[in-house]
Amino acid sequence: MRLAIDTSGVDQAMVVLDARRVLAAEDWVRRRDDQPVLARLEALVKRAGGGPDDLEAVAAARGPGSFTGLRVGLSLAAGLAYARHVPLHLIDSLPILARRANGDPAMVALRDAGRAEVFTWREGEPVRRMPVAELAGWLPNSARVIAEPAGMLATWSPSQAHLEIPEADRRRQSAALADSAIWTFESQKPLRYDEVQALYVQPAAAEERARKAP
């Protein structure tokens, strides 16, 4: 069995896979009074018909996203992999989000970064963090966009709100995670346990100060 975890955003998920087949999946929305992720994991693996000792590989979303959520997911994944001496993989979070679109993945994925900033990703480019005010000039006019939270593009760039894929045309987070995990397990090399690091994108304001520094 292979396990994938994504606790980087508001919508969170875990899946247990047997090669390309989903044995069990769980989706939930992040809340302060959530049950511990470890308890969810134990219940999920049990539903899949196995136990923690049956895990053959682990993958976790590495961000960008919630600082606390990333620490939880990455710590759990690294601990499981290290304890059981199994391969460990990391997956960028915004490409997972893009796979929530029905049909082909969205061309652009956006996630709220707070402080009037947004994490942005589009195919073929690295993740960026930019002020919301710059989003309209960055977005391609014909892009299919997934935003988190859903509906936020209307707030960030009202004139481009029509580009956002509505909730009715989105899959569950666990389905997107499963697709991303299958591709990762099959095509990417695992990391050493000491290479586990969250993807924290430097704030745009900090980047600007760095550019202007002597």
pLDDT of residue 52: 75
pLDDT of residue 36: 87
Domain segments of the chain: what residues? 2-93+172-201, 95-169
Domains 2-93+172-201 and 95-169 share a fold: yes
Superfamily of domain 2-93+172-201: ATPase, nucleotide binding domain (3.30.420.40)
Report pTM: 0.90
Pick from 55, 73, 54, 53: which is nearest to 63 by CA? 73
Pick from 200, 201, 193, 199: which is nearest to 89 by CA? 193
- How many CB atoms neighbour CB 149 within 10 A? 12
Give pLDDT tens digits along the chain (214 positions).
999 999 999 999 999 999 999 999 999 998 877 788 889 999 999 999 988 789 999 999 999 998 899 999 999 999 999 999 999 999 999 999 999 999 999 999 999 999 999 999 998 898 999 999 999 999 998 899 999 999 999 999 999 999 999 999 999 999 999 999 999 999 999 998 888 888 876 555 455 555 555 5
> Which ranges of 85-131 does DSSP label H, i.e. alpha helix?
93-98
Assess contact for 88 and 197: CB atoms under 8 A.
Answer: no
CATH topology for 95-169?
A: Nucleotidyltransferase; domain 5 (3.30.420)
Cis peptide before 149 (omega within 30 of 0): yes
Residue 25's H or E segment, with its range, is strand 21-29
Helix axes 67-84, 37-47, angle to 10 degrees: 50
